[in-house]
Amino acid sequence: MNLYDIDLVTIDGKPQKMDDYRRKTLLIVNVASQCGFTPQYEGLQALYDKFLDKGFVVLGFPCNQFGHQEPSGEAEIEQFCTRNYGVTFPMFAKVYVNGVNAHPLYTYLKSKKPGILGIEAIKWNFTKFLVGSDGTVLRRYAPSDKPEAIGADLAARL
């Protein structure tokens, strides 16, 4: 499987391909609106704003698999993110990140950058994957890794 062959659905229901992000450095994040890490939306937006002109994009994928912390539908999620955090980076339809129904993007990311002890499963909301402009999955960040700390990695790569 190639990263750029994966099909996506935007938060407003439109089909999109990962190929639209070819030659971009990406931070792919599974997000939730009712999580202790939800304030990271602010830091993710700040990274997006700071590095957008250098070919960087944050991609947000709502997920309700952890503590049912994303129970709303896509329209409500989009409104929440825009109203509370001024999110302008691309957001997508809700996905599963673990299990037999895991979205192919997350199956791919986890296979390329497993977590601690080689465990592929996503442990919680706001797990982040840094993908280079050539499509290489460079690093996996824990939910507790704040976006501000990722900025140093980005500055060195862009």
User: Which domains, from first to last, does the chain contain?
Assistant: 3-157 (3.40.30.10)
- Residue 116 pLDDT: 76
φ, ψ at 146 (rounded to 5°): -75, 145
Give the mean pLDDT of 47-73.
Answer: 95
Residue 125 pLDDT grade (very low, low, confident, very high; cuts 50, 70, 90): very high
Give the mean pLDDT of 69-93.
Answer: 95
Give the mean pLDDT of 85-111.
Answer: 96
- Residue 37 pLDDT: 87
Instruction: Note whether 144 and 52 are within 8 A (CB).
Output: no
Residue 54 pLDDT grade (very low, low, confident, very high; cuts 50, 70, 90): very high
Give the mean pLDDT of 25-53.
Answer: 95
Mean pLDDT (the chain) is 94
Active-site residue set: 35
Residue 156 pLDDT grade (very low, low, confident, very high; cuts 50, 70, 90): confident
Which alpha helices (DSSP H) does the chain contain, by range? 40-51, 74-85, 104-112, 147-157
φ, ψ at 109 (rounded to 5°): -60, -45
% of the chain beyond a pLDDT of 70: 100
Residue 40 pLDDT grade (very low, low, confident, very high; cuts 50, 70, 90): very high
φ, ψ at 56 (rounded to 5°): -110, 140
Q: Is the pLDDT of residue 58 over 80?
A: yes
- Residue 95 pLDDT: 97
- Residue 118 pLDDT: 77
- Give Cβ neighbours of residue 99 (< 8 Å, ≥ 6 apart): 65
Q: Locate tokens 């304030």: which residue?
A: 39
C-alpha–C-alpha distance, residues 10 and 90, integer Å: 8
